[in-house]
Structure 1
Amino acid sequence: MNRWYLLYCKRGEQSRAKLHLENQAIECYYPQIEIEKIKRGKRQIVSEPMFPSYMFVRFDYEQGPSFTTLRSTRGVVDFIRFGAQPQIVSDALIDELKQLESAQSLCDGHEILEPGQSVSVKAGQFAGFEAIFKEADGDARSIMLVNLINKSVPVSIDNRDLDV
């Protein structure tokens, strides 16, 4: 019977481990999320593993390959265990992770704002103000134009304080 197990992989070698495991006819899954990052001053959306260095594999250990064979695959360190045997992961958990991964529409917990988009500030020193999004200021903050004394002033505000 095919069951899911959790593997610990060498840092940054999940794709290598996945390639070698799939060559052994093992079903592999490591959920990825899309995150908006600023690299060299430009906003980019990149895919990163949801659980760095961990991967789910599905196989029937009674028919093969053995746990030892999988552990000695390039890029793999070992199975996650509780006691002597590798721990079985429920199918429901994997299904839920797949649904979350496919339904992902937010980046880093916030919607992607477009320049000129109107936003209200819900917390912080500018709570209750209406602001206009100007640009991202790192991963967690945004430059907003706040109208103070009939003049738009650029202010850096934490993204958690914005109500889109």
Structure 2
Amino acid sequence: MKRWYLLYCKRGEIKRAVAHLERQGVGCYQPMMQVEKIVRGKMQRLDEPMFPGYLFVHFDFEQGPSFTTVQSTRGVSKFVSFGNTPKEVAWDIIDDMRDYEQNHADEVESDLPQKGDKVRLATGQFAGLEAIYHEADGEKRSYLMLDLISKPVKLSVPNSDIER
């Protein structure tokens, strides 16, 4: 009986792992989601994996391929396991992820606040002060409106200094 398992793949080699696993008759599933990111100064929608580096696989180890064969496939690092036995993933979890992908395909996840959101500066010379998120300033910085001396000031800060 075919079951679902979770693999950890070598960095940057998931596509290679999928190609080699599918040739062996192993079903592969990597849940994806759309995110907004700034790439080369422009906001773009990109498909990214929900779990980077991980791949769900579907096969029957009794009929082949074996756990050892799957784990030694190019691009695969190891099974997610407890002890020496790979942990089986429940069908419900896979179904829920597939439902989520289909029902939320148009929704976009963003790692940045929306314009007008209140944020707090976590580090830097203005640590602890509240500000209003204004817009992205490149890939790693953002503009905030900070109220200094009763006057709003537009300030560019690293995204790592911002907490919601």
Normalised TM-score (structure 1): 0.70
Q: Which residue in 1 is equivalent to 2:108? A: 106
Structure 1's consecutive aligned runs of 4 or more residues displaced over 3 angstroms after TM superposition are 119-127, 135-145, 152-161
The Cα of 1:48 is off from its aligned counterpart by 1.7
Which has a greater percent of strand? 2
The Cα of 1:76 is off from its aligned counterpart by 0.4
Distance change in 2, residues 1:84/1:65 (3 Å)? same
The Cα of 1:55 is off from its aligned counterpart by 0.5
Q: Which residue in 1 is equivalent to 2:38? A: 38
The Cα of 1:15 is off from its aligned counterpart by 1.1
Structure 1: 5+ residue runs without aligned partners? 146-151
Question: C-alpha offsets along residues 61-120 of structure 1, whole Å, 9 cap, x if unaligned?
Answer: 111111111111110011111122110000011111112223140322679x7xxx9x67
**How do 1:7-156 residues align onto structure 2 when only pairs under 5 Å count?**
7-102=7-102, 103-104=104-105, 105-108=107-110, 135-137=135-137
Write the distance in 2 (CA, Å) between the matches of 1:4 and 1:140.
38
Distance change in 2, residues 1:122/1:48 (3 Å)? closer
Aligned-residue sequence identity (percent) comes to 47
Q: Secondary structure at the match of 1:28?
A: strand
Normalised TM-score (structure 2): 0.70
Paired amino acid for 1:15:
K
Given that 1:36 and 1:139 are in contact with CA atoms closer than 8 Å, whether structure 2 keeps it comes out as no
Distance change in 2, residues 1:16/1:122 (3 Å)? closer
Structure 2: 5+ residue runs without aligned partners? 122-128, 146-151
- Aligned-pair RMSD on alpha carbons? 3.3
